[in-house]
Amino acid sequence: MRFSTKAIHVGEERREDLAPPLHQSTVFVFERLADMELVARGEKYVYTRFSNPTLSLLEKKIAALEGGEAGIAFASGMAAISALTLSVVKSGDHIISTDIIYGSTHELFEFLQGLGIEVSFVDTSDTESVEAALRANTKLVFLETPTNPTMKLSDIKAVVDVVKDKNENVLIAVDNTFMTPYFQRPLELGADVVVHSATKYLCGHGDAMGGIVVGSAELISGMRRNVLKDFGGVMCPFNAWLIIRGLKTLAVRMERHEKNAMAVARFLEEHPRVKRVYYPGLESFPQFELAKRQMHGFGGMLSFEIGGGMEAARRILEGVRICKFAVSLGTTETLIEHPYTMTHRSFPNKEAFGITECLIRLSVGLEDAEDIIEDLKQALEQV
C-alpha cells in the first residue's frame, strides 16, 4: 500500500460502517474474571487511560505512515515529548537537544535539568557539534528539523551515523510536526523514534489537541506500561477520532499547503519591505540541497523578517484580514504569529538564534494562494 491508501485504510479493513466508530467510553465491560488473561495478551480493553479501540486505530495508522512498529497517543504534543523523555532518561543521564526548538520543549528540558538530568542545547545542523557533545551518559538525542521558527535543518542520517558509530544505545528522536510523514520519514533515515504534535497537520483543522510517539514495539509498550498509565496524559477518544479523519486527507492537504507556501515565499522574497525569507523550498535557503535530499517536499511553514522593528511587525500582525493572528500551525486557515513575543517568549538569547522582533512566522493554510498574498500585500503596505 502507498501513503494515502495506508492513511485511509490501515486498521479499517474489515468493518461494516464506512466511518470508524468512536469509542467514547472510559471503561470496557468484562464477562469472566479469566478475561484478564486476554488483557495481559493485549486482546481486550480495560480502561481508556491504558488503551482504547479508537486510540488504537490512530496509533496503528500513524505507525504505518511513519514506517514504525508501534505508536502511542497522548493528550498533546508536549505530553508525548515529556512522556518520551521521562521513559528514556533518569537522573544522571544526558540529553542532546537541537538548540532552536519549540519554546515549551526547551522549557521542558530546562525543567529536567532541575531533576538531575544533564541537557546540552547544540546546533544539530552541525553534525560535528553533535559528535563533540556526546558523553558516556548520553541517552537521548532530540532533533527538531526543520526547527521552529527559523526552519533550520539537521541532517538526520548524518547525525544517526556519527552518534550510532560512537554508541548504538543512544536513542535518536525527531520531532516531525512540521513536515509530517508525508514529507519526511525520520525512521527511514535511521532515527529510532518520531514524535508529533498531532494538534497540527495530522489533525489539520485546529479542533483537537494530541500527541503521538512512534518507535519500536518494545519502547512503545514500555511507555504504555509506565508513562502513559501512571502519568496519565491520555488522548481523548473523540480527539483521536478527529485526528483519524484528518489523517485521511493528510496527503492532499500537505500538497496544497506546500503549493501555497511556495507561492507566498516567492512573493515575500520579492517584496521590498521583506529583508529575508526562511523557507526550505527557496533556492536562496542555505540548506536547500539538504532539504531536497532529506524531505519529500518543503511543507507549509515559513518565517520572514521585515525592516522597521517591533512596530512594523505589530502593523502586519494586526493588519491582516484573511490570515488569522494566532499561534499554532497546520490548520486550514493561514496563521500568522510573532515568535519573539508569543511561541518563543521565554526562549533565552533569542536574537542570537535569529528570533528577532522583526521575525514573523506563517503557517500557510489551504485558502487560495492569491487571497493570502493579497492579504499580506495590503498588510505590508501598512508598514
Ligand X SMILES: Cc1ncc(COP(=O)(O)O)c(C=O)c1O
Which active-site residues does the annotation give? 49, 102, 175, 200
Q: How far is the CB of 234 from ligand X (least distance, A)?
A: 14
The Cα-based distances of 95 to 109, 156, 212, 221, 366 in angstroms read: 8, 16, 20, 22, 37
Q: How far is the CB of 41 from ligand X (least distance, A)?
A: 32
Cα 315 from Cα 184, distance rounded (Å) = 35
Cα 242 from Cα 227, distance rounded (Å) = 24
Q: Considering the complex, state which of residue 297 and residue 319 has its C-beta at the smaller distance from ligand X.
A: 297
Q: How far is the CB of 292 from ligand X (least distance, A)?
A: 21
The Cα-based distances of 277 to 1, 115, 274, 304 in angstroms read: 37, 39, 7, 4
Q: Considering the complex, state which of residue 178 and residue 298 has its C-beta at the smaller distance from ligand X.
A: 178
By Cβ distance, which residue is nearest to ligand X? 77
Q: Considering the complex, state which of residue 58 and residue 78 has its C-beta at the smaller distance from ligand X.
A: 78
| 336 neighbors 324 (Cβ within 8 angstroms) | yes
Q: How far is the CB of 137 from ligand X (least distance, A)?
A: 25
Three-state SS for 353?
helix
Q: Considering the complex, state which of residue 175 and residue 258 has its C-beta at the smaller distance from ligand X.
A: 175
Q: Considering the complex, state which of residue 76 and residue 138 has its C-beta at the smaller distance from ligand X.
A: 76
Q: How far is the CB of 94 from ligand X (least distance, A)?
A: 21
Burial 122-156 (b: 16+ CB within 10 A, else e): bbbbebeebbebbeeebbbbbbbbbbbbbbbbbbb
Q: How far is the CB of 167 from ligand X (least distance, A)?
A: 26
Query: Which three cell numbers mark 338?
Result: 510573532
Residues that bind ligand X (CB under 6 A): 76-78, 102, 104-105, 144, 148, 175, 177-178, 197, 199, 209, 211, 328
| 99 neighbors 353 (Cβ within 8 angstroms) | yes
Three-state SS for 335?
strand
**What single string gives the DSSP state of each residue in 192-208?**
SEEEEETTTTTT-SS--
Burial class (CB in 10 A: 0-12, 13-18, 19+), 344: buried
Q: For residue 156, how far is the Cα from the chain centroid?
A: 15
